[in-house]
Structure 1
Amino acid sequence: MKWISTILVFFLLMTNQLAYSQNSVIDSLKRELVRSRGKDRFNILFDLFRKNLETNYDSALYYSTLAVSQARQNGDSLSIVKAHNANGWVRMRLGISLCIPDFEYALEIAKRNNYKEQVKFLLNNLAISHNDFANYDKALDYHFQSLQFRQEEGNPLDISIAMNNIGLVYSNLQDYENALSYFIQCKDLKEQNGIDHDLDRAYINIALAYFNLGNYDEALNNVSKVLSICESACKDEVLVEAHYALAKISMKKKAINKAREELNTTIQIARRIGSRMYESQALHLRAVLQLEENDPSEALEFLNKSQAVLEGTNLRDQILNNYLLYVSIYNNMDDYQSASEYQQKYIELNKEIFSGDLIRNISRIQTEHEERENIKTIAAKDQVLALQQEVITRQKEQYAFIITITFLTLGLAFVMYRANQSQRKINQELALAKATIQSQNKMLSEANLQLEHEVEERTRELVVSNESLVKVNDEMDNFIYKTSHDIRGPLASLKGICNVAMMDVKDEAALDYLSKLDTSAAKLNAILSRLLIINQINHSILSPEYINFESQIEEILELERKKEMPSKIKISYQVQPDLKFRSDKEMAKIILENLIDNAIKFHNDSARVDPFVRVEIGTEGEWVSVKVIDNGIGIEKDSKNKIFQLFVRASERSDSGGIGLYLSKLATLKLGGSIDVTTSSEGYTVFKVLFPPDLIPIIAQRKEDELKREKHKQKVLKVS
């Protein structure tokens, strides 16, 4: 046992080294993701899902969810199938029953489009998920469908996978003899065909079957084979199963300290990869160890942790085991009422899982599978008889063939002589054709040179046109800036004259006109100010610094109070403690100010509603998330895709000319982020902005891209 522990420690060290290399690949893919679009973006998201699947299930689920959204946006049915399959797979590994609708939806599309490879995977995944959630009849049905599908294809690897998974269902049904039979068939098929894929898992499953049959020496022997197969390349998913198996074997051999050590290692790896199933099972066994050592309080603590891990999952088999252990612990503690409650829970869940329908369905599925196998056997025997008859017929045909071949040989000699004469003539014609082809190739080369020259000319024209467009855009920004600045002077004078006139004039009608003129001037002044901000955003030089969101929000709220903010509205904010965010302070303030002002401006002024604005700032995956939530008048569905455009107003209440949200989006893009608007389940309007946590890498990347463009332009101009 000591040498096994030494090898496992070595494997863990190698795994850490591989994880470091893996992180660098993931970081590279994230940088590519920022610039990608369409199918390229989907492919990068799918690669990020697969890379994170090896280390962290939560991150893998994040990227598979984004892949689903991107696939639907692209409208590619194969991508949709792959994305939902990926989403279902990681949800299944996390013990979330929503994986089943994912698989069923993908299977329906795959069958409709005849994606046979995807149908094969989805049948297998549906079977595994139903097995995990203790729907054993459905699991067995899908596995037998998958096995039949794979046997028709004849791929030994695929057949071995189906056999292994059928063994897992029988193992959960505690039919360990049948389980061991399928596991051994799976292992033999892999070894006979030189297949290394998941051979280590086959040995682990055989070890657990021997363990459940009471043959602990064979179980230990098979776990040792696992470690010798994968050597230093053991994945965490294999290691967690190996450590768990060693822990169970050690418990049966009364090596309690060794069992405790293996269980702790299992828990660490399970938490690292996000495997709730193995974390819960390992904590369950820790509770068993404490109960065997007459420490029911400590046992109850471990069991509570195991049950907490299962919260939000549908791993009913493990929940059932926990209920049974609760009964033993509470009986040991003389808490018979609690023991009775969990005894009742155990009985109800056991009936739900192992119902009469389950037994009948499993019996029916096994019978149907055996009938198919019998039909195959009969068909094979008929085929042997047919082959024997065919051999006799062929022997008769061979005699006739020998006679025929003699005459054909003589005829062939004559034909070859004639063919030789024809070949000489053909060779002469081929020589002439070769000369013609060489002449045409020369003409084609000259045409290619001319085409390259024309391409270079058009490229140079595009560079010149692009420079002209940049110049025009700069002139347009300058024009807007100067025009806005020049108009503000006379506008301020007009507003001042209106204010003086309203103090002197007594006529009510005149005062009303002057008041409207003053209000219009104020609105126009606000629009001009925002137009100046557009110019400021476009030409600003970003200055990254660490930003204190609390102080920024307080400054914005102080400005809103000066603008006579409605007294009824309730404003609150929540910032994640110790949040590290480095970006441009002015750009961030523009975004927050416009979103908060927008939420206040469009509040619900009904007497039956208590209006509120809530700002939530924290992290979301690798991003810094800013949400502004309100229960205001809301946004029509048709307007959601337009409100971030310049001069678009979703309501007549808008007094900024439809510029505020455009400024927010413009500043967000300047900081390398994204912004969108959704409606929550409660009907609240939610504006969400995602920022990169550090602006410095974004600026560096933009400079690098700009340098590449400049080099390309210089190269084109130099060639011209």
Structure 2
Amino acid sequence: MKVLLGIVFILFFTTWVGATPITLDSQTLALAQMPQDSLEDLVYTTEGIHKVDVLNALSWKIKFSNPNRSYRLAKQARDFAESLNYPMGVAFANKHMGLARTNQGRYREALSLVFEEIEMRKALQDTMGIAIANNNIGYILRQQKNYDLALEYFRRSLELTAEKVYLPSLRALTLNSVGHIYRIQGSYELSEKAHLESLAVLDEGQELGKFARATTLNNLGKLYLEQNQYGRALLYFFETLELEEQLNNPLRQSQSINNISLAYLGNNKLDSAQFYAEKGMVIARTIDNKAPLRDLEHTCALIYKAMGNFEMAYLHESRYANLNDSLLMAEKETEISTLENRFLSTQKQNEIDLLNERQAAQDAELRKVRLTNYGIIGLALFIFVIAGLLYLNNRLKRRANLILLAQKNEVRKQRDELEQSNLHLNKVNHEMDSFMYRVSHDLRSPLTSVMGLISLASQEQDTTKRDQYLQLMQKSLKKLDGFIQDIIDVTRNNRQDVKYVEINLKAMVKEYFDQYKYHDGRTDIVCEYESKGLANLINDEYRLGIILSNLISNAIRYSTEYREDAVVKVSTQIDEERALIQVRDNGPGITEEHQAKIFDMFFRGENVTGGSGLGLYIVKETVEKIGGNIRVASEVRHGATFTLELPNQKLGTEKQSPSIGLEQVLNA
């Protein structure tokens, strides 16, 4: 009994075989019968309206196996048909777009597209096209379990096809759809009658005839399966599978095989049931629709449970649960729009009814009936306008709130940027005040000294003292020249573009060792260099020279003034990504309280004479300009170590970004 309940449960999970939408029109029937590869070739070799027909036929061909691409092809056909003013091609494309959305479970879009198609068919006076569209609407409504309204649209399709002789497959598929709904509602006699009538009108000579026959046979098999008539059910299922293999439809093949497995399971032929279930799973894994695989996993669970193999039953039941959860999540997303979809279909139906009433009123003799109908129409329009205005008002309010929120966020952002700009400007103003004061002082001091020495030298008769005055003047002018050079370095660092070149660090360090190691006439200064990793670094050679020149000259200067055994060591470690450069000395060191200030503009430590106070400020600004960082470690009386970390750049990757700071204020 539990097995039979499981079979019934799976039957109600299947989605396609009960009522299949009709999409193929006589105009594209011949094309659709061609192999897919041939149609793919025709897409690139045809022009004009014939290309539209090829795109529509190819879209129909892959409607089940690849609904995403089917939709794209149909949309391409519609756009092309519109550009050619080919209304019939537009209508066909709308039909196939609706089918693709239906196969994706996007029923709201599908309904909208099919209703648009009906209006196009009316303009073209295409009765058969209208009948097919009504059938498709009924199919979509059936998918949404709106069975009564679906039956109404199927009956309209049957009424239209009864007036003239159309494709037998059209009427057969519509009867098949009606029979499927009767089966869902438990009216088995009505269902069997509709399906048998469907078989009676089919034309097997066309591909769509095979398609319709397969659908009807499958539904008859399911009808008998639900009534536990397994032998009759298997006959119809095997005939269905044969037709599906001819149509090369893997989706429907896998679901037909699942039905065969269920019939064998109900008949307690477990080995046969297992064989066909596993065969169906192989096919189901090749398509992009999870529903057949989900149903087959559940069927396998029932089979293994009946065999007593509970481990395999649990494995397949777990897979079934995971797939079912995934599909239910997608279904719940569509359920949110179900009520709106029903409203849309009801609204379209109301519009059709109102048009019919208006036509009847024109032929009626009684003015009272005519006025009453106009009153109904006016009331409906009034309600529609009021509803539209309320909806528009709500949309406008929401949009206004979003705009207001965006404006508030923008104001907040601008305020934060303004605050940051103010802080930056305050810093620049402070640096400017300090800079102007120190520049005026440090420029005037050596000039005043030189002027005094010139006055003394002009009055001195002793040649020896006059030479001493000249040496003092030279020292003051060198100090002035060094200060001016520091100002030039500040300006160039901010203004000059970064340019990456390959730098030999060993040669650059040796150059600055040779330049400064004879400080104050000393010849015993020990200058050491140690390197690891790569020999060369790619970065800005000019700026790296400023950095190393300042650090090496400072290290030599303070070491020689503090110790007789002055030692300065530069070590480098370079890899593909970065370079680590350390400059060590055994000088007096830097106190902890001064370490946080040594990179400030014009900062000089205690007991430090000479120098502009700009050297380490220039070093830090230059390091940051080329994307690096610098830090200092020092203990008093144990020297200092400056550590540079610089990126090893790639040639030709310079990115210039304008700086905003003291240099720009100076150049304004």
TM bracket, shorter-chain basis: 0.3 to 0.5
| Structure label with greater radius of gyration | 2
Q: TM-score, normalised by structure 2?
A: 0.46
Structure 1 or 2: more helix by fraction = 1
Q: TM-score, normalised by structure 1?
A: 0.43
